[in-house]
Amino acid sequence: MNDNCILVVDDELRMRKLVKDFLKVKGFSILEAEDRRKGSRSL
């Protein structure tokens, strides 16, 4: 398992889900946000 966490920011839910699902299969932990402001609050 990978200890890295990736923040995925995109305004399209389908795109976030696609990227998130791919990265989860690779063992990454994922945070997601729909815009820059919400993404920066996640950090």
Instruction: Spell out the domain ranges in the chain.
Output: 5-41
Residue 2 pLDDT: 58
How far, in Å, are 7, 10, 23, 27, 31 from residue 1 at the CA level? 17, 25, 12, 5, 16
Does this model's pTM top 0.75? My answer is: yes
Residue 37 pLDDT: 95
Q: Is the pLDDT of residue 30 over 70?
A: yes
Strand partners, 29: 5
Confidence of residue 43 (pLDDT cuts 50, 70, 90): confident
Span 1-29, pLDDT tens digits: 557 899 999 999 999 999 999 999 999 99
